[in-house]
Amino acid sequence: MDYKKYLSADTGSFMRSPVREIFRKVDLNSIYSFAGGYPSAETFPLETIERLSAEVLHKYGAKALQYGATQGVPELREAISKRYDVPVENIQITTSSQQGIDVCTRVLVDPGDVVLTTNPTYLGALQSFKSYRAEVVGVDLAPSLEAARSRQRQIDDLLAEGRRIKFFYAIPDFQNPSGQTMTLAQRSELVALARKYDFLIVEDSPYRELRYEGEPVATIYSLAPERTLHLGSFSKIMAPGFRLGWIIGAPELLDQIYVCKQALDLCPPIMDQYMAAEFMAGGELDKNLAHTIELYRGKRDHLLGLLEKYMPAGVSWTHPEGGLFLFVTLPENFDTVALYDRALAAGVAYVAGSFFYVDGSHKNTMRLNFSFLDTERMEPGIKLLASLL
């Protein structure tokens, strides 16, 4: 049967994730994988979760297994409100921050509207933007005067063509994929642009608490709460299997997201939310975070040392202050997409950097993850990758 005629026009814009395709092809444990963005299983607080699940069932009984409020259970919204010092009415719980990105796009974007983003940017966000038929435009946020003039011109040109810019999507802390962090000056300039040209900012912040060195930089939300939707996630600070995240923003915008979420999934998972609330409010999150940060700092340092030791001349990489990734740049003539199958056959995986560029450019780059692979397996993996290069 030909099913094509039944499909919506939106499906024509759906984009398959090359990262997930990699996972389908291979068992990640059988190779040296620097590819995915998986947290280390060592950071999952198994015993605490076992205890909390019993405590939550004892405390809330059947309520923990019932449907609940679309905005999220009050206990979790209150725990987030306290931790990040924002009013409860400015918080919507989401079923993962991927859903946060998707639901923001769904309520803000009509087909043909422009979404601005950094170049490179997070692949899962590109998938959401494209599925709503947004036009995604990459903007260079480099701090030079020339780049500042060029982005003003880029926005002026879009507006002169009659395009509507809805929001700028940014991952200011330890970006996926580059590992880079926006300075306060860059955040302030972005806010000034948003105010001047009247667009919103979606600040995606799943890695913010995973800082291994340096001082935290103010969130974009704190600089412009009236026009920022700030997305958080439990995936990297507790466990991704919980599929829990949150959006902080103006109640008027959250109200539309609330209605949209009624159609999407009625409510975020209740049992997960009660457990996350206990985990956060009872101090377990901070304990687990301290252990996670120590583990990841060691893994990051180890990977940086191995790159230094084994990578041939002409290869450079970013030095992330936190998060899960660093970004490698090879000499111009290299093509990491073309190299990929050979690397996989040899037993090492990365993600080609061009997948994260809006225009598929920068074929000479790759993203390396340092959270997933066991520390002792990193050296043979990097040796292998370096020998292929």
Ligand X SMILES: Cc1ncc(COP(=O)(O)O)c(C=O)c1O
Site of tokens 């990365």 = 350
How far apart (Å, rounded) are the C-alpha atoms in residues 336 and 341?
A: 9
| Closest CB to ligand X among residues 98, 336 | 98
Question: What residues line the site for ligand X (CB under 6 A)?
Answer: 37, 96-98, 122, 124, 171, 176, 204, 206, 233, 235, 240, 245
How far apart (Å, rounded) are the C-alpha atoms in residues 110 and 170?
A: 20
Site of tokens 């040296």 = 32
| Closest CB to ligand X among residues 43, 339 | 43
| Closest CB to ligand X among residues 19, 303 | 19
How far apart (Å, rounded) are the C-alpha atoms in residues 123 and 125?
A: 5
Minimal distance, residue 388 CB to ligand X, in Å: 26
Beta bridge mates, 33: 349
Site of tokens 């009625």 = 266
Q: What is the DSSP letter of 242?
A: G
| Closest CB to ligand X among residues 177, 339 | 177
Minimal distance, residue 75 CB to ligand X, in Å: 20
| Closest CB to ligand X among residues 31, 324 | 324
| Closest CB to ligand X among residues 98, 219 | 98
Residues in contact with 15: Cβ distance below 8 Å, sequence separation at least 6, in sequence order? 126, 127, 130, 131
Q: 3-state SS of 213-239?
A: CCCCCCCHHHHCHHHEEEEEECCCCCC
Minimal distance, residue 248 CB to ligand X, in Å: 14
Minimal distance, residue 351 CB to ligand X, in Å: 11
DSSP three-state, residue 243: coil
Minimal distance, residue 159 CB to ligand X, in Å: 27
| Closest CB to ligand X among residues 176, 365 | 176
Q: 3-state SS of 97-157?
A: HHHHHHHHHHHHCCCCCEEEEECCCCHHHHHHHHHCCCEEEEECCCCCHHHHHHHHHHHHH
Minimal distance, residue 309 CB to ligand X, in Å: 28
Minimal distance, residue 3 CB to ligand X, in Å: 29
